[in-house]
Structure 1
Amino acid sequence: MTSTTVVVIGAGPAGMTVATLLQHSGIDCVVLERSSRDHVAQRQRAGIVETRAVRMFESWGLTDRVLGGVPYDGILEFRVDGHSHLVSDSDGSQGPAARLCPQQVLVQKLTATFLEGGGDLRFEAADVSLHDLTGERPTVRYRAPDGTPRAITCAFVAGCDGDRGVSRTAVPDGVLTAHAFDHGIGWLTVLADAPPPAHPLLAVSRQGFAAHFPRGPHSSRYYLQCPPDDHPDAWSETRVWDALRTRLGDPALASGPITDREIFRLRSLVHDPMQYGRLFLVGDAAHIVSPMGGKGMNLALYDADLLARAVRDVVRGDDDTALRTYSSRCLRRVWNDQEFSHWLTRTLHDAGDAEPFLRNLARARLDRLFNSPASAGAFAELMTGLDPTGRTVTENLPGNLSGVGGD
């Protein structure tokens, strides 16, 4: 049996951010990941690291090391029935801008930084289980790739293994309250070797919602609204490109080889609290947000930042205030971003093919966004990454040592 300060479960954006920030703070940790390194490095999801998250990495002195991609110019294109409206998501504050940085690039750079610093990252860890989470020294058990059973004792466990991981299931029934919402909307998501748009593009039409986002200099990700129980096989390449050209209002849209397609249901989920004993849930293990607005990965980065700073407070100064309040501080931001994502989801989908009353309400909201400086400013602030606490990313709460427990 080995020992460390923190065991991090999961090597995605949340887990590798926690691990890298802990390492940067001189705090030892072990990362356990059930998949292979190649699989983790290729998982493609979110594509924008928002302004506030970039500034978070800057506050740690890690921006140049862990962020790839290119600076994002802060312009979104909304296309309503083929008519273009450019909206800035710059809130006017000083500092580095958001980055167009696909999830796999961020994870690859975080992983390389962690390993170059001597980090302990164990891939293909099977049958992970968590024990004694309310005790002084929890134990994490797993099976190594050669089948050998292993165990690690630790002071804290960071559960960063997503919505279907083992971390949240280790919490006893009745401890967490799940707040779930099904939007009743499906998206076909398509990855293709096709030219990216000049700006991230969100399109509204009576045929349904569509979107076009850059995923590199020569690749794009597209989204098409569809029934949530639809099947990818129902969407031939011809049908995909015909629907995109119609909904994006661009008959000349260039096509390219489709390399991946899947359908997922838009849903939102929040678990409260985000901690149990010495287990702290981070990112998708605690909350799922509709992809509209690009908040999912960014919320995970904020959770990771708060947790790393809180652990640092305990290890360096015997101050557990930030650790005890981790859940309440995270959830305040989570609910703020859930509300924004829900607003944007309903607005862009209702403005297309909803019944007339809801469609006209949604189009009135878009009209305010396009024509009211105050509405555009509020939108930009939320897109940038508003901190609802009003605190800077480097500020910690004062307090004194009184033990670590759930909220």
Structure 2
Amino acid sequence: MTPTVRTRVAIVGAGPAGLMLSHLLAQAGVDSIVLDKRSRDEIESTIRAGILEQGTVELLDTIGDFSRARTVGRRHDGIELHVEGEQHRIDFAASVGRAVWLYPQHEVLRDLVAARLAGGQDLRFGVDVEGVDGGDRPRVHARGADGAALEIEADFVVGSDGSRSVVRSAVTGDHQNGYFREYPFAWFGILCEAPPSADELIYSNSPDGFALVSQRSPAVQRMYFQCDPDTDTTALTEHEIWGELQKRVPGTVLQTGPIFQRDVLRFRSFVAGELRRDRVALVGDAAHTVPPTGAKGMNLAIADVRLLADALAALLLDDDERLIDNYPERALRRIWKAQHFSWWMTTMLHTAPDASGFDRGRQRGELRSLVESAAGRAYLSEGYCGWPLDE
């Protein structure tokens, strides 16, 4: 007989969204179980980008000294936007009085895992969720690391299990149900052993294509340049990679060093057809994905969780269904704003393969209009730093 575990909220996925949701629910007095098919080491060691909006950092502050975002992360009050070889600084502080923090996602996960385990969270690694039954008494069907079957009966199930979400079908009826866009370009990304090339991130639009110069630590840089989605990461020598990056960031001398990781990051946008059905809901990449240009992915997931945590507390503690009924509408307001911002940043900074002379001239005009306008700089600053979580 398959053993059954009972909890108020079953959270599938121990990424930033799932772990933060468990924290907020615990603060409200709602117990939960968090499941993830990955091991703790896998979760904490997969290196991913991390630009944290101010609102995200403020929410991470609530886990106390476990959060190192302000002490280890680096506050950035702006970015550099390079247009036709000219360098323009977008001053977030002057435009909107806000900032972002450069703090990689795996570090956020280390902080959240440590905080949740210290708080007594039922956090189960190596559990493979095979499906979810919806309805008024949802059930999660899973197998543990030993292969033994496990069922979890909950008052509510939350899918925070990423873009390949198993939970999604229980909400949308079909894993593919939703709105989708794929872009005709990708990023060729590298990690290299070298000190930062600039104090702040550089977003460069050049005749040779887009490039982004970022950082991971004082000794490691993360850089990207626009490429074809089918590019072979082994096809270029290190010399050729540095040549591609340097010619796309004229006026800045890049700090170079040994390249120890290469990857190609495809660009896709997705919004699930539904975010909630009965007592199952989606958050984070299970509900939506965005291209990385606008740095919205993790921040949008955290914003979802902030709304859903309040809604679940009202539902499960006070039998008040108003917030959970309104969750999809409220979440989608920000989701579509973030989709637009990410699309806008992406199309403004990248050169489409079939771009005509007119398209390229129009794009230069758009960039000029942005950097030469206080209103344009303010719009970019607001979108990049994020809208208040209570919106």
Contact in 1 for aligned 2:95/2:377 (Cα 8 Å): no
Displacement of 1:309 in angstroms is: 1.2
Contact in 1 for aligned 2:95/2:378 (Cα 8 Å): no
> Of residues 37, 41, 44 in structure 2, which corresponds to 1:38?
41
Name the aligned partner's letter for residue 348 of structure 1: L
Segments of 5+ residues of structure 1 without an aligned counterpart are: 396-407
Looking at structure 2, the residues matched to 218 and 352 of structure 1 have their Cα atoms a distance apart, in angstroms, of: 34
Looking at structure 2, the residues matched to 160 and 250 of structure 1 have their Cα atoms a distance apart, in angstroms, of: 42
> Of residues 113, 132, 153 in structure 2, which corresponds to 1:111?
113
| Counterpart for residue 29 of structure 2 | 26
Q: For the structure 1 residues 251 and 299, does the alpha-carbon distance in structure 2 shift closer, same or farther, using more than 3 Å as the test?
A: closer
Q: For the structure 1 residues 362 and 381, does the alpha-carbon distance in structure 2 shift closer, same or farther, using more than 3 Å as the test?
A: same
Displacement of 1:117 in angstroms is: 0.3
Looking at structure 2, the residues matched to 199 and 7 of structure 1 have their Cα atoms a distance apart, in angstroms, of: 40
- After TM superposition, list the pairs within 5 Å mapping 1:1-16 onto structure 2: 1-16=4-19
Name the aligned partner's letter for residue 104 of structure 2: P
Higher strand share goes to which structure?
2
SS of 2:93's equivalent?
coil
Displacement of 1:293 in angstroms is: 1.0
Q: For the structure 1 residues 97 and 85, does the alpha-carbon distance in structure 2 shift closer, same or farther, using more than 3 Å as the test?
A: closer
Contact in 2 for aligned 1:204/1:348 (Cα 8 Å): yes
Displacement of 1:214 in angstroms is: 1.2
Segments of 5+ residues of structure 2 without an aligned counterpart are: none
Identity percentage over the alignment?
A: 36
Displacement of 1:251 in angstroms is: 7.1
| Counterpart for residue 273 of structure 2 | 272
Contact in 1 for aligned 2:8/2:31 (Cα 8 Å): yes
| Counterpart for residue 338 of structure 1 | 339
SS of 2:269's equivalent?
strand
Contact in 1 for aligned 2:25/2:309 (Cα 8 Å): yes
| Counterpart for residue 386 of structure 1 | 387
Contact in 2 for aligned 1:142/1:150 (Cα 8 Å): yes
2:48 is equivalent to residue 48 of structure 1: no
> Of residues 119, 128, 150 in structure 2, which corresponds to 1:126?
128
Looking at structure 2, the residues matched to 224 and 328 of structure 1 have their Cα atoms a distance apart, in angstroms, of: 36
| Counterpart for residue 156 of structure 1 | 156
RMSD in angstroms over aligned alpha carbons?
A: 2.2
1:171-191 per-residue CA deviation (whole Å, 9 max, x = no partner) reads 463698411111211111111
1:363-395 per-residue CA deviation (whole Å, 9 max, x = no partner) reads 1121122111111112211112125xxxx62x8
Q: For the structure 1 residues 62 and 352, does the alpha-carbon distance in structure 2 shift closer, same or farther, using more than 3 Å as the test?
A: farther
Contact in 1 for aligned 2:92/2:385 (Cα 8 Å): yes
Contact in 1 for aligned 2:129/2:140 (Cα 8 Å): no
Q: For the structure 1 residues 265 and 93, does the alpha-carbon distance in structure 2 shift closer, same or farther, using more than 3 Å as the test?
A: closer
Looking at structure 1, the residues matched to 121 and 51 of structure 2 have their Cα atoms a distance apart, in angstroms, of: 26
Contact in 1 for aligned 2:78/2:99 (Cα 8 Å): no
SS of 2:359's equivalent?
helix
| Counterpart for residue 321 of structure 2 | 320
Displacement of 1:222 in angstroms is: 0.7
After superposing on structure 2, the runs of 4+ consecutive aligned residues of structure 1 that deviate more than 6 Å are none
Displacement of 1:229 in angstroms is: 1.4
Looking at structure 2, the residues matched to 250 and 327 of structure 1 have their Cα atoms a distance apart, in angstroms, of: 46
Q: TM-score, normalised by structure 2?
A: 0.92
Looking at structure 1, the residues matched to 179 and 172 of structure 2 have their Cα atoms a distance apart, in angstroms, of: 17
- After TM superposition, list the pairs within 5 Å mapping 1:41-80 onto structure 2: 41-58=44-61, 61-62=62-63, 64-68=65-69, 69-80=72-83
- After TM superposition, list the pairs within 5 Å mapping 1:76-87 onto structure 2: 76-87=79-90
Contact in 2 for aligned 1:353/1:359 (Cα 8 Å): no
- After TM superposition, list the pairs within 5 Å mapping 1:274-313 onto structure 2: 274-313=275-314
Range that drifts further, 19-28 or 29-38:
19-28
Contact in 2 for aligned 1:208/1:353 (Cα 8 Å): no
Name the aligned partner's letter for residue 343 of structure 2: H
Looking at structure 1, the residues matched to 162 and 274 of structure 2 have their Cα atoms a distance apart, in angstroms, of: 16
Displacement of 1:44 in angstroms is: 2.0
Looking at structure 2, the residues matched to 313 and 141 of structure 1 have their Cα atoms a distance apart, in angstroms, of: 26
Displacement of 1:65 in angstroms is: 3.2
Looking at structure 2, the residues matched to 92 and 317 of structure 1 have their Cα atoms a distance apart, in angstroms, of: 41
2:211 is equivalent to residue 187 of structure 1: no
Range that drifts further, 253-262 or 148-157:
253-262
Name the aligned partner's letter for residue 379 of structure 1: L
Looking at structure 2, the residues matched to 329 and 210 of structure 1 have their Cα atoms a distance apart, in angstroms, of: 34
How many residue pairs match? The answer is 385
Q: TM-score, normalised by structure 1?
A: 0.89
Displacement of 1:290 in angstroms is: 0.9
Q: For the structure 1 residues 115 and 241, does the alpha-carbon distance in structure 2 shift closer, same or farther, using more than 3 Å as the test?
A: same
Contact in 2 for aligned 1:91/1:380 (Cα 8 Å): no
Name the aligned partner's letter for residue 123 of structure 2: L
Displacement of 1:259 in angstroms is: 2.2
